Structure 1
Amino acid sequence: MTMKVSASVVALVSILLMLVPLAARADEFIVGDDQHWRFGLNYTAWAYEYTFVWNDTLVFKYDPPNGTNIPHNVVLFNNIHDYDACNINKSTLLANVTQGAGEGFRIRLLNLTPYYFACGIHEGFHCRNGTMKFTVITLD
């Protein structure tokens, strides 16, 4: 009986030790760097500059609507076809127009599948313009 408990403890400790480096290597990226999430910046080019790995976090920062600025939000598409077409009706709203204020909206990259992000404001105009959209492929 003691032998079984010891083997279980060793197995658990081994698994935990394997997970520590994964958590330690996670980075946080502010989308658009110091330009944040705004109209007119090429986010495909921005994303191309970085390597994203499992457990990294993206932070979308943008000003809430105040009557003088252009509002933004963050949507996620399930597939490349809806992303390419900017089919906002088939996207999922991740962050509304106010959630990018302050510390911003955070999303942790926990899937090893592509993420297709865009701004869905004005029925997808910002997405269709081609600049407020980008793809992230997380690496293991």
Structure 2
Amino acid sequence: MANSDSSPSLPQANPLSSKKENITPIGSKISELNESRAELLNRIQGLKQDLQSWRSKLDTQVKVYRDELSELKKSLNVEVEQLRSEFQDLRTTLQQQQDDVTSSLKNLGCKMSQLIQKMPRLKTLREMTKTQEPLSSSNKMMLLLA
């Protein structure tokens, strides 16, 4: 049996050397994956910062627009109130003018009525002037007022 120990045998593969060969590619893959992971984390962090910055800018812009809209609304409300007041003044003025015109028309109607009542006297006055000497203006007034 001692001979069997010294007999030439097939070369045995060294288990440690094959593990080292296998470990080296795995180690480099792990380091590549770690680098890739670090790059992705950095990109994600950058994207998060960009998103936060974008949100902040958007919030600021929304606030500015809201403030502008609020100011425009106030300004429009003031203008609407001014227009209402002006229209009310115009309505009052027009009503007063309408009342004045109505009153003037009534007065004119009364004067025309008086004039119509005096028409027979005017006819008489005309007939008298045709047949007689011309009347003085004071006599004409006397006839008209009678």
For normalisation by structure 1, the TM-score amounts to 0.30
Whichever of the two has the greater Rg, that structure is: 2
Q: Which has the higher strand share?
A: 1
Higher relative contact order (CA 8 A, sep 6+): 1
